[in-house]
Amino acid sequence: QQVKIVTGTNSYPVYIGSGAIHLLNDFIQNAADGFTSIMMITDETVAEHHLVSFRETSGLDEFIVKTVPSGEKAKTFEVYYDCLSYALENKLDRKSLIISFGGGAVGDLAGFVAATYMRGIRFIQAPTTILAHDSAVGGKVAVNHPLGKNMIGAFHQPEAVIYDLDFLKTLPAHEVRSGFAEVIKHSLIRDENFYRWLKEEIHSLDAITDYQMLEFLTKGISIKGTFVAEDEKEKGIRAFLNFGHTLGHAIEAEAGYGKVTHGEAVAIGMLFAIGLSMDLLGLEFNIVELKLWLKKLGYKTSIPKGLERERLIQRMKQDKKSVGGTIHYVLLEKVGKPALIEIDEKTLMTYLEIFEKEVG
Ligand code: NAD
Ligand code: ZN
């Protein structure tokens, strides 16, 4: 399957499928402007599981590999600096290529290295998580600062995304759950039929078939692509992709990163946002059904115990998307029709209280 992503600055193909990585070599050989050298950035876990088969299947042999720590630990200044040093030592030049091989963390890091090395060189995303169907497309790249996640970054679109679903087979269950929440998000903000299809089709995250995986990742990427195409630099509607994320980010940060995965926190955030939407915008929605489905798939549907409302609200106010003191919240008028609404602190506090009582 192929999806084309079109942005203001460029357009690029996303190849999705089992075995898709075999397309990489041809893509590189046929690139209009050729590459002088190639550096892969990957993490320890992905390298251990898949680097050998990457070499075999892609047919690509001449490249250097920088292996970084797995997970969020990849997105630090130190690791970023290490990658730059490695690139300089190995004499990467302005016509070199960076390949990101891993999940969203590696993708964000490698993309930021590519965006800043010699004022920007080209890069290719080879995602290995479900979550990365979201992060690999759209060109947002970043590392973390101790004072905030993704605070240091750039917009830098890849040359291509090559998404070989065979690599996903080793994903642990909680990572599958984390990524699948973003698939649900994409359906809710753009496509009611897709949402219905997901609910009917996916009954267990341990038993996703190749066909289902291909279908929902292709669809999810297409939806993400439509938002990116209309708003590359996130001035307007791209903010809708933040659905479920205002509370989601707050939960992640308060619980401590790694305690609750990104997607699991976003799932709780989406439930909260849907409740708000029903009350404030008259959204018609069967929230009980969604909650049951999420539970069946192993998601938590309430805010983890021990997180204080006041602190969650403080976090929500610190969100990059909030301007001044008021919180800009993505709600749904209908499934598939999001809206950006200003909500004041007091209202939010009241609803958080109700939300906690309802499901707690
Ligand atoms: P990740 O890269 O940390 O991967 C999660 C874990 O799974 C890691 O421990 C990793 O080593 C492991 N892993 C990866 N592929 C595997 C495989 N095939 N088999 C077994 N283990 C594997 O993170 P993620 O969940 O893919 O993405 C989260 C990151 O993405 C966050 O840093 C977030 O900020 C970022 N993100 C960016 C955007 C964007 O638009 N740029 C959007 C959403 C999220
Ligand atoms: Zn997200």
Which domain covers residue 313, as residue numbers? 173-359
pLDDT digits (tens, 9 = 90+) for 36-54: 999 999 999 999 999 999 9
Ligand 1 contact via 106 beta carbon (within 6 Å)? yes
Are residue 24 and residue 112 in the same domain, yes or no?
A: yes
pLDDT digits (tens, 9 = 90+) for 61-99: 899 999 999 999 999 999 999 999 999 999 999 999 999
Ligand 1 contact via 135 beta carbon (within 6 Å)? yes
Are residue 108 and residue 189 in the same domain, yes or no?
A: no
Are residue 13 and residue 148 in the same domain, yes or no?
A: yes
pLDDT digits (tens, 9 = 90+) for 13-25: 999 999 999 999 9
pLDDT digits (tens, 9 = 90+) for 160-189: 999 999 999 999 999 999 999 999 999 999
Are residue 49 and residue 187 in the same domain, yes or no?
A: no
CATH code of the domain covering residue 11? 3.40.50.1970
Mean pLDDT for the chain overall:
93
Query: How close are the terminal C-alpha atoms of the chain, in Å?
Result: 42
Are residue 292 and residue 267 in the same domain, yes or no?
A: yes
CATH code of the domain covering residue 207? 1.20.1090.10
Are residue 128 and residue 186 in the same domain, yes or no?
A: no
What atom in ligand 1 is closest to the CA of residue 70? 11
pLDDT digits (tens, 9 = 90+) for 313-354: 999 987 766 566 678 999 999 999 999 999 988 999 999 999
The residue from 170, 185, 210 where one domain ends is: 170
Residues 6+ apart with CB under 8 A from 180: 130, 202, 205, 263, 297
The residue from 170, 203, 223 where one domain ends is: 170
Residue 11, helix vs strand vs coil: strand
| Count of domains forming the chain | 2
Are residue 153 and residue 239 in the same domain, yes or no?
A: no
Ligand 1 contact via 45 beta carbon (within 6 Å)? yes
Q: Is residue 359 over pLDDT 70?
A: no
| Lookup result for tokens 């990163």 | 257
Are residue 192 and residue 241 in the same domain, yes or no?
A: yes
Half-sphere exposure of 32 (CA within 13 A, CB side): 4
Are residue 329 and residue 214 in the same domain, yes or no?
A: yes
Q: Is residue 8 over pLDDT 80?
A: no
Are residue 15 and residue 79 in the same domain, yes or no?
A: yes
What atom in ligand 1 is closest to the CA of residue 44? 11
Taking residue 187's Cβ as centre, other Cβ atoms within 10 Å add up to 23
Ligand nearest to the CA of 45: 1
Are residue 131 and residue 183 in the same domain, yes or no?
A: no
Are residue 334 and residue 198 in the same domain, yes or no?
A: yes
